[in-house]
Amino acid sequence: MSLRIHLSQLTSPTAMLLQSLDLDISGGVIHTVMGPSGSGKSSLLAAICGTLAPDLVFKGDIHLNGKPLLALPTEQRGVGILFQDDLLFAHMTVFENLLFAVPAGPKPERKAAVMQGLIDLDLASWAHADPATLSGGQRARVALMRALLAQPQALLLDEPFSKFDATLRARLRTFVFELVKKRHIPVLLVTHDAADIADPAHLTQLAHA
Amino acid sequence: MNTRFGAATLLAALGAPLAISAGVALQAGFNSAAWLALGGHPQTLSALGMSLWTGLTATALAVAGAAFLLSRSFGQVHWPQGVRLLAPLLAVPHAAFAIGLVFLLAPSGWFLRALSPWATGLDAPPPWPTTQDPWGLGLIAVLVFKEIPFLLWAAATQLQRAEVAQRWTRELQLARSQGYSAPRAWWCVVWPQLWPRLRWPLLAVLAYSLTVVDMALVIGPTSPPTLAVLAWQWLLDPDPAVNAQGACAAWVLTAVLALTVGVVGWIWQVPQQTFWRTRWTQGARGRPGVSKKLGVAGFCALLGVYGLVMLALVVGSVAGLWPFPLLLPEALSLQAWASVWGSLPTLGTTISLALASAATALIWSVAWLECAPPAWDQRLRPFLYLPLVLPPVLWVVGVHGLALSLGVDARWTGLWLAHTLAAVPYVLIALSPAYLGFEARHQQVCASLGHGHAVFLWRVKWPLLRAALSAGFAIGFAVSVAQYLPTLFVGSGRLNTVTTEAVTLAAGAQRSLTSAYALLQWALPLLIWAWAARCGRARRF
């Protein structure tokens, strides 16, 4: 598995956001992109995910497992994303939030996948809880499991730890990195905190645009 | 303490007339002879059936249409443009739209003229019931086309709240990243969260559709008419016993409305635990494809209908001799507009009432939203929305009684009071999302910089809420212009507005004069909406 990004330019109507960026991320690797605010990190993720704002222009190409992504709509790209906010759906229980992510199939198997996910998270007793009653750390873990249950072929992490204090941050980081490495998919982590770097050998620093 | 005192004062100022009106309306139902007469009248049941058929069908279709457009448009490139175009559609009073649609659909209307004689073989208007049809289809069509923009606008006011818009946009992105098509993501993720926030606008649509009088007079069925029209006819009768029968019919409509709301609410709530949750999480991703194009097509179709209606009114207002099946008039005439010009007092009454009642409604609403403790606001909102949810034929009994008791019947002051009471609920609905969602930390920042509350309001909060405030004023203005029953009853025939003139003329054969008044009905709110749009534009640097 691999995620290849060849970016020649990423521009807005008034500014150049990014230029000349080449990334080749293999399965199981967490590649970190660091840069200050305004350096184009989130726009890069939006371009990969297929949610780039209409006024921004991406020049280059993106391939996932050899498949070109740019012409595909978001739902067909197979790229999961985890934002800074957990964005658990307020109208669904924890169980339903996870079930929502599981691809269509026989109901017993889908439910079993969700229950296994909850067990892995040590949150089985919270299955039918309102997401608002979970702690911030619990919600973040549920959000990650939801992203993984959709069986993405690549995963984007948009500053997922920035909301938390140092201790919780470290715990979550360890948890997230272990879980995604087990899935052996390419992961792109965007952050402005050096403590989030998964592997210094897989690091790209962005300058301010 | 000061804010509670302020809120209590505001409540008294509005609550007293509301309570008196409701009390007079309630009292009108205590007449056993009138109830017996109502029950024994041969048209009562069929009229009630017609009201239920047209009201429920129109509401269901309007909700389905608005939800479909939202599912295909929210988050898409054309969504902001579509929302901006809603304002001129909302500015169209219901009666004006009905009159315009009649001119399109009538046996001598534009549609048949366009198809005759080459497609239809007709060289004279046929005796077909294309308007005021016995099945109520014309009334349903007008209600649907009028309520879809209102529901879209109500949804947009929720979606404009920054924290909501950003969150739901990201939730949609997230769902799409998991393989869900854009419409499916909308139905599973955003719509279940938006739907509960639309309950008051939905209730307003249901209440209006079940109880409308002016549109039903123009395009609704006549044999039987809807129960609201029947009640109106009885309320206008010189015989007090028949008036009482009309009041009882209005109470029947109220009871039917309450029952309908209860049933619809139950239908939504009960299966939510099972049916809807299963639908949300069954895993089917939906089909990708032409969703954006359908959204654009839907908006274009809506605009197209409104454009045709407006064109029909414009041409109709200057039509002289216009034999069937000519597509355009043989001769043009400005006689209708000359006649309108001769009725300047009517225009003056309309404009002065609309400006005054919109301003009053806006000032009251802002003061209430500033002063009222959240618990008060939550508990008292249903009471404040009474004019919205009570059938107009019942409400007008109360308002007329209020005007009589205050001695302002047949006076401008009485009409101002009636129009203000009608406008306040709409202005509150328009203003509340933005006002209550205002970032609270702005005030903290202002205070930390040494500024008091008055400076905060005048220099920070109200300028930042300019768009919502001007939209609220425009809505209050449009509501006032559109008031038919209150103007008819409280005005007692001595004070007329362009709306009462238009609806009265629609019953006759003066197409050009009817068109001219209907266009005025449309033009006045449209001008104010244009002003509001300009006023509400973000500052440019």
**Confidence (pLDDT) at A163:** 82
* B170: nearest CB among A79, A83, A105: A83
The residues in A 78-97 lying below 8 A from B, measured between CB atoms, are 78-81, 83, 85, 87, 89-92, 96
CB contact under 8 A, B283 and A76: no
Please determine, for residue A91, whether its predicted confidence score (pLDDT) is greater than 80: no
Residues A2, A58 within the same domain: yes
Residues A143, A159 within the same domain: no
Chain B: nearest CA to A30, how far in angstroms? 19
DSSP for B239-287, please give it.
-HHHHHHHHHHHHHHHHHHHHHHHHHHHHHHHHIIIIIHHHHTS-----
**Confidence (pLDDT) at B345:** 92
At a CB cut-off of 8 Å and minimum separation 6, what does A57 contact?
A: A9, A10, A11, A12
Q: SS3 breakdown of chain A: % helix, strand, coil, rounded to 5?
A: 35, 25, 40
Instruction: Judge whether A108 is closer than 8 Å to chain B, CB to CB.
Output: no
Residues A193, A209 within the same domain: yes
Residues A188, A176 within the same domain: yes
Chain B positions with Cβ closer than 8 Å to A: 77, 167, 170-171, 173-182, 185, 188-189, 192-193, 277, 280-285, 288
CB contact under 8 A, B177 and A110: no
Which tokens belong to B499?
């709306």
**Confidence (pLDDT) at B301:** 92
Q: Burial of A54 by CB count in 10 Å (0-12 exposed, 13-18 middle, 19+ buried)?
A: exposed
* A54 contacts on B by Cβ (under 8 Å): 77
CB contact under 8 A, A54 and B77: yes
**Confidence (pLDDT) at A54:** 79
- Per-residue burial over B285-324, b = 16 or more CB atoms within 10 Å of its CB, e = otherwise: bbebeebbebbbebbeebbebbebbbebbebbbbbeebeb
List the single best residue of B164, B174, B269, B272 to mutate versus A (max A Cβ within 10 A).
Answer: B174
Asked whether residue A189 is domain-assigned, the answer is yes
- Give the residue among B220, B208, B198 at the shortest CA–CA distance from B151: B198
Query: Of A109, A127, A151, which residue is a domain's last?
Result: A151
**Confidence (pLDDT) at B538:** 66
Residues A143, A172 within the same domain: no
Q: Burial of B477 by CB count in 10 Å (0-12 exposed, 13-18 middle, 19+ buried)?
A: buried
CB B401 within 8 Å of CB B20: yes
**Confidence (pLDDT) at B447:** 73
CB A135 within 8 Å of CB A121: no
Q: Determine the structural domain holding residue A209 and report its residue range.
A: 1-78+152-209
Task: Kindly identify which residue of chain B lies nearest to residue A143, measuring between CA atoms.
Answer: B174
Residues A116, A26 within the same domain: no
Asked whether residue A83 is domain-assigned, the answer is no
Q: At what angle do helices B79-90 and B44-73 cross, to 10 degrees?
A: 150
Instruction: Judge whether A104 is closer than 8 Å to chain B, CB to CB.
Output: yes
Task: Kindly identify which residue of chain B lies nearest to residue A156, measuring between CA atoms.
Answer: B177
Query: Of A151, A179, A201, which residue is a domain's last?
Result: A151
List the single best residue of B269, B281, B285 to mutate versus A (max A Cβ within 10 A).
Answer: B281
CATH no. of B1-30+334-541: 1.10.3720.10
Asked whether residue A144 is domain-assigned, the answer is yes
How far the first Cα of chain A sits from its last, in Å, is: 31
Residues A156, A62 within the same domain: yes
**Confidence (pLDDT) at A18:** 86
Fold of B43-328: MetI-like fold (1.10.3720)
CB contact under 8 A, A85 and B179: no
Task: Kindly identify which residue of chain B lies nearest to residue A96, measuring between CA atoms.
Answer: B281
Whole-number average pLDDT of chain A = 89
Residues A62, A162 within the same domain: yes
Chain A: nearest CA to B386, how far in angstroms? 29
Residues A1, A66 within the same domain: yes
CB contact under 8 A, B176 and A81: no
**Confidence (pLDDT) at B145:** 95
Measured CA to CA, the distance from residue A130 to residue B257 in angstroms comes to 33
**Confidence (pLDDT) at B479:** 93
Over its length of 541 residues, how does chain B's per-residue pLDDT go in tens digits? 568 888 888 888 888 888 888 888 888 788 889 999 999 999 999 999 999 999 999 999 999 999 999 988 887 878 888 888 887 888 888 889 999 999 998 888 888 898 888 888 888 888 888 888 999 999 999 999 999 999 998 898 888 777 788 889 889 999 999 999 888 899 899 988 888 888 888 888 998 999 999 999 999 999 899 999 999 999 888 898 998 899 899 999 999 999 988 887 777 676 566 667 777 788 888 776 656 788 888 899 999 999 999 999 999 999 988 888 888 989 999 999 999 888 899 999 999 999 999 999 999 999 999 999 889 998 998 888 888 878 888 888 889 989 999 999 999 999 999 999 999 999 998 899 889 888 877 787 777 767 778 888 888 889 889 989 999 999 999 999 999 999 999 998 899 999 999 988 887 878 899 999 999 999 999 999 889 988 887 655 5
Which tokens belong to B153?
């606008």
- Domain positions in chain B are 1-30+334-541, 43-328
* pTM listed for this prediction: 0.80
State the average pLDDT over residues A13-23: 87
Query: Of A135, A151, A167, which residue is a domain's last?
Result: A151
CB contact under 8 A, A96 and B282: no
Same CATH fold assignment for domains B1-30+334-541 and B43-328: yes
* B176: nearest CB among A75, A105, A152: A75
* B189 contacts on A by Cβ (under 8 Å): 89
Residues A30, A117 within the same domain: no
- Tell me the CA distances in angstroms from A196 to A33, A82, A170, A174, A177, one per residue in order: 10, 15, 8, 10, 10
pLDDT higher at B77 or A151? A151
Residues A41, A66 within the same domain: yes
How many structural domains does chain A have? 2
* A91: nearest CB among B176, B193, B282: B193
- What is the CB neighbour count within 10 angstroms for residue B64? 12
Measured CA to CA, the distance from residue A2 to residue B167 in angstroms comes to 30
Chain B: nearest CA to A146, how far in angstroms? 9
Residues A156, A74 within the same domain: yes
Q: What is the domain-level CATH number for residue A159?
A: 3.40.50.300
